[in-house]
Chain A
């Protein structure tokens, strides 16, 4: 169960994380693969990860707005399906790099390009194999006050600043300075 006011830090049992779970800073993003803002912020997140290195644990949860983004749910399914085959993050990058082409056929192509079992992945996408997990992500976000994408939480606190490199890095670096 995720607390309403303060978000539980990335959960290594269920979240997709990059970096060590005991890193001093935890950055959690709620995102949607078809959301253009999420796509724009992606290189910023990567650069922050590069700068902070071992000090940062990054986690991503799904927050697809499926009525305005018709491909968002299947794209999230594809990321989870790739995760089943040990390739969540490569697919995550692939999807954000190709936001304009997220139809099922393209998803299968990306799986193949990443050397995954594309047939298995697309079957999971179509059957909604990971729908429950994606919905859990969504619900946890709503509970925590996510009102759009991307939304960031730094050590469990919602980040309300601009989605640009400098302010985000400054906010993220703060907890590390305190500890």
Chain B
């Protein structure tokens, strides 16, 4: 969000919304929403008028494809706790790499996944968000958005895990908006890199998890 957009959002906020916004949380949400509108020009999927194009360089991601071993990692989940991918061995894991806490599309994307935890859990999977933000930043972001899943800090060496998954943007210093579904054996089952300004939704994740579940069911009956 640029200063100008911020100022525009603020002034629009003052002129139109002051009366109807009752508390600071709503006010903040509207501000972010206005910024999101400015950034994604009402249409994240079309990619038109999308300021992300100016904010980020063009890149050709080489995300790890399905079938390969998912590189293990241990990252901070809170300022004093660590989480390793290998801890989840035996169940599918959804890794959601995203560029940054607080940026509007990420907020929407994480908000959507937050509402879908039940569905992911029903499919036996855990969800993990990963960005280069530090643990304290993640803590504030998770608290603000009431996120109920871990956000890992790919902070030192910066972007190391994203790099190993082939989804680091060197010029921008952030990761792609990339999704990986890791199977119970620790292999990449499905991966997807979304244009950086586009919220990829959750339909692809659900399909991948269901596919895994069907495979398991087939194996079990053999």
Contacts and interface: CB of A to CB of B under 8 A. Distances in A.
Query: Chain A interface mostly helix, strand, loop or mixed?
Result: loop
Contacts of B109: 147
A170 B45 CA distance: 18
B202 A68 contact: no
A148 B108 contact: yes
A162 B111 contact: no
Interface in A35-93: 36-37, 64-68
A68 B30 CA distance: 11
Contacts of A99: 20
A164 interface: yes
Contact of A144 (B33, B147, B203, B207): B203
A68 B145 contact: yes
A4 interface: yes
Contact of A145 (B42, B114, B201): B201
B195 to A, nearest CB: 12
A65 B200 contact: no
Given A68-B146, A162-B41, A143 B203 contact: yes
A138 B203 CA distance: 12
A161 B46 contact: yes
B207 A4 contact: yes
A148 B37 CA distance: 12
A138 B119 CA distance: 11
Nearest to B147: A67
Contact of A138 (B29, B114, B115, B147): B115
Given A143-B203, A145-B203, A65 B115 contact: yes
A4 B41 CA distance: 27
Contact of B45 (A142, A160, A164): A160
B206 A100 contact: no
A67 B203 contact: no
Interface string B24-45: 0010011001000100011111
Interface of A: 4, 36-37, 64-68, 99-101, 138-139, 142-148, 158, 160-164
20 contacts: A4-B207, A37-B33, A66-B115, A67-B111, A68-B29, A68-B111, A99-B20, A100-B22, A100-B26, A142-B201, A143-B203, A143-B206, A145-B203, A147-B44, A147-B112, A147-B199, A147-B200, A147-B201, A148-B44, A148-B199
